[in-house]
Structure 1
Amino acid sequence: MTVGPVLKQFRLELTEQHVVHLIFDMPGRTMNVFSNAAIEELGLFADWLKQSDVAGVVIRSGKSIAFCAGADLAELETAYDMIMAAAPADRDRLAFNHFFRLSHGLRKLETAGKPVAVAIAGLALGGGCEFALAAHHRVLADHPQATFGLPESLVGLLPGGGGTQRLPRLIGIEAALPVLLDGARLKGQEAVSAGLAHELTAPGEEVAAAERWVLSRPLAAQPWDRLAWHASDAPRVSVEIAEKRSKMLAETLGHYPAPTAILDCVEQGLPQDFDTAIRTEMQIFAKLIQRREPRNMIRTLFLGRLDHERQKKVGMNPKIAAAVAEVSKAVGVQSECGKELVEAFARAGFRVERPCKVEFDGRIAGAVYWHDDEPRTWGKELLRARLADAEIAAASWRTQLDDSERRAADYVLVTQAGFPAYLGGLFAAGLS
C-alpha cells in the first residue's frame, strides 16, 4: 500500500494496525548519514505525519550494521565553503538557516501529535543519536553495536540537531557531559539506567517492541513539552558548567573551541523553553562552524582517516611516510634545544615526550590560535621558526602527493607525530 510522501533516502511501510514504519535506508550506501537530501525528506515526512491518520511511527534502519552514523561530513565541508564565500555580515544567517533544517525537522517530528518510537539495533551516532532522541520511546537491542553517541566534539563541532538540549534534559547534566564533550558512548543496560533508552530487548526483537509501544496508545509528547515540566538541574547549571569549563580549559589551553561552545549551549539552553533552546544551540553552532579548527579537524581526523584506510588497503604510497618524517624533523617536537622551546610546544598543543608542567593562563582561554594571540616570548619565536621550516618542507612534498595522499599524510602527522589536531596538519590544511 502506498503511504506518505515519495521518499528516496527513507522507505515507508504501513502495517495492518496502521503503524507506519519510517525506514532509513540510503540507496547505494552501506551506512546511513544525514545528507542534505535525507534532512529534506525528514521534514517532508514530519509535515505529512501531522495531518495523517496513522496510529503512530516506528523508526528503524534498513542497514544491518548501523542506524545512522551522523552527518555527511563531506557535504558539511562544502557548506563551510559556501558560508565563508559570503560577505562576513551574511555568514551567521547563512549558517543558521542551512544547519537548522535538521533540528527543525526533528522538532516537527516530535510535535506532530503521533507517538514515535525508534528501534536501535546498531550505531546511533551524531545526527543518528539526535534522531533517536527526538522519538518519544527508544528501544535498544542488547548488542555491542547498538550504541548511542554524540562524537561531534572529536571533529571540532557540537551536536546541532538538538543534542545539547535533549540529552541533558533526559539524563541530567552530569551524565550528559561525558557524551557531549568526550565522545563517550552508552549502550545496553547502561543506556536504560541513564534514562536514554526505555527498553532493552534481545537482538531482533526491538522493532516488535517499538510497535507494541506505539499501539498501546501512549502520550505523544516529550517530557519538556508537558505542562509545568522543567529540568531538575537547571537551577545549578551555571555552577556545574563553570567547574567543567575550568577543568576543560586547563586541559586544552583554549585551543579547541568546540567544548567551550558545547558548555555554552547547555548553560544557556537548559533554563530556556525547548524551542528557544534549540535556536540558542544553532546560533552557537553557526559561529563555531565558521572557525578554522572544525574545518581542519574534519579534513584531517575524518576525511584524512578515510583516505589513510583506503591507502592501507591498496598499498601505502611510501612518499607519505617520507613526507611526514621530513616535516616532523623540521618541526622538531622532541627537540633537545631547551626547556623554553619544549614549553612553547606544550602550550601550543603539541605532544612532547618530555612535557613540562604548563600552568593554565586565562589570557589564552578565548584565543583563536595560540601562535597568533599569546604574548611574544623567545620560546614562541623559536616555535614560529620551526613551523615556518616545517611549512617549507611540506610544500616540497605537496606536488608529489595527490589530494587523498595529502590528507592521509596530515592524518599521520596529527595522530602519530604529535601535531595538534586543531591546526590540521600541513599538507592539505596547512596553517592558513
Structure 2
Amino acid sequence: MTPTSAFHLQMRPDNIGVITINVPGEKINTLKAEFAAQMMATIAEARRNAQLVGLVLISGKPDSFIAGADISMIDRCRSVEEAAGLSRQGQEVMASLAALPVPLVAAIHGACLGGGLELALACDARICSLDDKTRLGLPEVQLGLLPGTGGTQRLPRLIGVSEALTLMLSGKTLRAEQARRLGLVDEAVPQAILLQSAIERVLKGKAGPATLPTRERLIQAPLARHALFAFAKRQTRQKTQGNYPAAERIIEVVRIGLEQGARSGFDAEARAFGELAMTPESAALRSLFFATTAMKKEPG
C-alpha cells in the first residue's frame, strides 16, 4: 500500500500552489528520507499547471513548521558512505527547489529547525509568524553533526559568514524578530495573515541575491575572511578542548564553500556529515537526545 504523502498541493484560482506539510500520525513535522520522492512528486504536480505563478510551503501542524530531521534515520546508518548518501539526497532535493523557475516562499509558524530551516533556506523568501512558538535555528552541532542538506553553504550567502558561523557553532535558536533583523527571514507578521503575506510575496516574483550588511561585505575580502576563520577556529578549540569535532568541521566546510565555490562546499558538507555521524561523540549526543525526549513523554 502506498504511504499517505506528507505533502498536499492545493491550487488557488490565482494559479498559486499552496503545499501543506503534514506528516501523517505525528504531532510535529520531521523530515524523513522517504519524503524526498513525495516532495518532488508534489512539485511536479504543481508544475503541470502551465499558468503556475508560484508556490507557498506551509505546515499543517498547529505548532511546528518542520522541527528538524528524523534523528532515528541517521542512527540507522551503518557507514560513512550511507550517512553521506542521506546528506546528498537531501542536498539534491533542496537544489531542485532552489532552481524552480517560479518563486517559492516558506510560510513559517512554530519550530523551524535543522533540516526544516535548510528547506526554508532553499526557498526564494521566508516569512514567519510573530508567535512565541516560532523559533528558527540550526542546532545540529548539539548532536555532534553539521547541517547536511545545504545549510552550511546557503546560510553564509544569505546573512554573511560571521553571523552564519555564530548561529551554527552555538546551535542557538532565534525568535521571529531576531530572525528578521538578521535577514534570515524577509518578514515577521501576525499568524492570522501569514499565508496571505506569503502569497503577496510570491506575486512579487523571484528574489535577487541577498544584500549583506556592510560589516559582512567587508569580511568577504580574503585577508579579513582568513582572520575570521582563524579566530573562529581558535575560539572553538578553547571552548571544546577538541572534544566536539562537529564545531571545527562546520568552520572547515563553510571555508571550503566560500573559497572553492558552492559545489566544493556541498561535497565537503556531505562528506563531513557522513564522517561526523559515525563518530562516538555524535552517537553519545544522539543517545542523550533520545533519552531526554523519552523523559519528556513520561507522565509527571
Per the normalisation by structure 2, the TM-score is 0.90
CA distance in 1, matches of 2:98, 2:207: 8
Q: Is the alpha carbon distance of 1:139 and 1:202 closer, same or farther for their aligned partners in structure 2, counting shifts above 3 Å? A: same
Q: Could you say which structure has the larger radius of gyration? A: 1
| Partner SS state of residue 228, structure 2 | helix
For residue 24 of structure 2, the aligned residue among 5, 22, 27 is 27
Distance 2:114 2:139 in 1: 6
Maintained 8 Å contact 1:121/1:145: yes
- Separation in 2, partners of 1:275, 1:305: 37
Per-residue CA distance 1:306-361 (angstroms, 9 max, x = gap): 222234x16xxxxxxxxxxxxxxxxxxxxxxxxxxxxxxxxxxxxxxxxxxxxxxx
Q: Which residue of 2 aligns with 1:399?
A: none
Call closer, same or farther: CA 1:50–1:11 in 2, change over 3 Å: closer
* Match of residue 282 from structure 2: 294
Match of 2:41 in 1: 44
Partner of 1:306: 293
Instruction: State the secondary structure of the residue aligned to 2:56.
Output: strand
In the TM superposition, what whole-angstrom CA distance separates every residue of 1:372-412 from its partner, at most 9, and x where no partner exists? xxxxxxxxxxxxxxxxxxxxxxxxxxxxxxxxxxxxxxxxx
Match of 1:58 in 2: 56
Give the aligned residue type for 2:64: A
Asked if residue 132 in structure 1 is aligned to residue 112 in structure 2, the reply is no
Letter of the 1:118 counterpart = A
Partner SS state of residue 270, structure 1: helix
Q: Counterpart amino acid of 1:126?
A: G
User: 2:159 is matched with which residue?
Assistant: 171
SS in 1 for 2:25: coil
- Say which SS state the counterpart of residue 191 (structure 2) adopts: coil
Q: Does 1:182 align with 2:170?
A: yes
Distance 1:198 1:108 in 2: 21
Distance 1:164 1:304, change over 3 A: same
Q: Mapping of 1:371-410 within 5 angstroms?
A: none
Q: What is the CA-CA distance between 1:304 and the residue it aligns to?
A: 0.8
Gap runs ≥5 in structure 1: 1-5, 84-90, 225-229, 315-432
Q: Which residue of 2 aligns with 1:412?
A: none
Q: Distance in 2 between matches of 1:262 and 1:46?
A: 31
User: Is 2:9–2:46's contact at 8 Å kept on the other side of the alignment?
Assistant: no
Query: Aligned AA for 1:303?
Result: F
Structure-1 separation of matches of 2:41 and 2:264 = 23
1:71 aligns with 2:58: no
Distance 1:305 1:128 in 2: 21
Aligned partners of 2:177 and 2:188 also within 8 Å: yes
Say whether the 8 Å CA contact 2:9–2:42 is kept in structure 1: no
Specify the alignment match of 1:351 in structure 2. Answer: none
Provide the rounded CA distance (Å) in 1 between the counterparts of 2:180 and 2:124.
14
8 Å contact 2:17–2:46 — kept in the other structure?
A: no
For residue 178 of structure 1, report the CA deviation from its aligned partner.
Answer: 2.4
In structure 1, the partner of 2:185 is: 197
Q: Percent identity?
A: 27
1:65-114 per-residue CA deviation (whole Å, 9 max, x = no partner) reads 010110101121012xx32xxxxxxx43x332232111110110110211
* Coordinate RMSD, CA, aligned: 2.2
CA deviations on 1:93-150 (whole Å, 9 max, x unpaired) are x332232111110110110211001111111000011111111111111111112110
1:274–1:221 CA distance, 2 compared to 1 (3 A): farther
1:231 and 1:271 in contact (8 A); partners too: no
**Secondary structure class of the residue paired with 1:33:** coil
Q: Which moved more, 1:24-33 or 1:268-277?
A: 268-277
**Residue 30 of structure 2: SS of its match in structure 1?**
coil
Partner residue, 1:254: 242
Match of residue 372 from structure 1: none
| Structure-2 change in CA distance of 1:213 and 1:262 (3 Å) | same
State the structure with bigger RCO (CA 8 A, min sep 6), 1 or 2: 2
Contact 1:49 1:114 in 2 (8 A): no
Q: Which residue of 2 aligns with 1:17?
A: 14
TM-score scaled to structure 1, two decimals? 0.63
In structure 2, the CA distance between the partners of 1:237 and 1:177, relative to structure 1 (3 Å rule), is: same
- Which among 181, 199, 205 is matched to residue 211 of structure 1? 199
- Is the CA contact 1:7–1:41 (under 8 Å) kept in the aligned structure 2? no
